[in-house]
């Protein structure tokens, strides 16, 4: 809570619009598997509960349990279903599991390599024959398929979520 309050105070002081910005304070802290979700709100709203004084659209901050870094989760990303997965990908570099791997592995073991290649090409028609073979051979040999092949199997999101921004800490790629 103290880390986020210090960050909010510093951001307000450094803003060229500080005279127009409402004073904000931490509203709630919720423990999460990844760290602590910290919601904040305008001080005027906290005191009065007058919705016209409410700061909207900001989204919570996540204080990372591993390194104490602070990350802003845009509200539209937060209310989505998979902000945790997005956080793991964007901030921690965790590669998402390809949902086709399980089916390909099962087919390789039950019906053989060619059946797995045919299935993969049906599910991911953008993969060429050599790419599908390389994917299936990697899975058959007990490895994860290369990311450049996995990326072709994923359906692009119609409206991708807004990215999570690192505000402070070791993973910060902007002036912190």
pLDDT at residue number 172: 63
- The number of distinct structural domains making up the chain is 2
The domain of 124 spans 100-153
pLDDT, residue 157, reads 61
Is the separation of the CB atoms in 104 and 116 below 8 Å?
A: yes
Identify the burial level of 16 via C-beta atoms within 10 angstroms of its C-beta, where 0-12 means exposed, 13-18 middle and 19 or more buried. exposed
Residue 110, pLDDT score? 95
- pLDDT value for 23: 82
Q: What pLDDT does residue 5 have?
A: 81
pTM of the model: 0.68
What is the reported pLDDT for 138? 94
Residue 175 inside a domain? The answer is no
Residues 62 and 128 in one domain: no
pLDDT for the residue 82 = 84
8-39 pLDDT tens trace? 777 777 777 767 777 888 888 999 999 999 98
Residues of the chain predicted below pLDDT 50: none
Residue 60 shares a structural domain with residue 131: no
pLDDT, position 3:
82
148 lies in some domain = yes
The answer as to whether 75 is a domain residue is yes
Report the b/e string of 112-138 with b at 16+ CB within 10 A: eeeebbebbbeebeebeeebbbbbbeb
User: Do 130 and 66 share a domain, yes or no?
Assistant: no
- Do residues 72 and 108 both lie within one domain? no
| pLDDT of amino acid 26 | 82
pLDDT at 132 (0 to 100): 93
Q: What is the pLDDT of residue 53?
A: 87
Place of tokens 């028609």: 125
Q: Are residues 58 and 139 in the same domain?
A: no
For residues 19 and 106, membership in a common domain is answered with no
């Amino acid at each position: 809570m103290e880390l986020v309050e210090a960050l909010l105070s510093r951001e307000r002081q450094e803003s060229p619009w500080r005279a127009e910005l409402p004073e904000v304070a931490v509203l709630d802290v919720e423990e999460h598997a990844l760290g602590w979700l910290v919601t904040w709100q305008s001080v005027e709203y906290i005191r009065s509960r007058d919705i016209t004084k409410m700061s909207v659209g900001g989204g919570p901050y996540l204080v990372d349990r591993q390194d104490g870094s602070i990350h802003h989760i845009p509200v539209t990303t937060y209310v989505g279903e998979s902000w945790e997965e997005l956080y793991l990908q964007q901030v921690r570099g965790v590669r998402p599991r390809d949902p086709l791997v399980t089916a390909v592995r099962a087919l390789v073991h039950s019906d053989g390599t060619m059946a797995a290649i045919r299935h993969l090409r049906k599910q991911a028609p953008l993969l060429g024959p050599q790419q599908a073979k390389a994917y299936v051979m990697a899975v058959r040999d007990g490895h994860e398929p290369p990311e450049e092949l996995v990326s072709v199997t994923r359906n692009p999101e119609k409206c991708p979520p807004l990215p999570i921004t690192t505000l402070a800490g070791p993973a910060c790629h902007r002036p912190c």
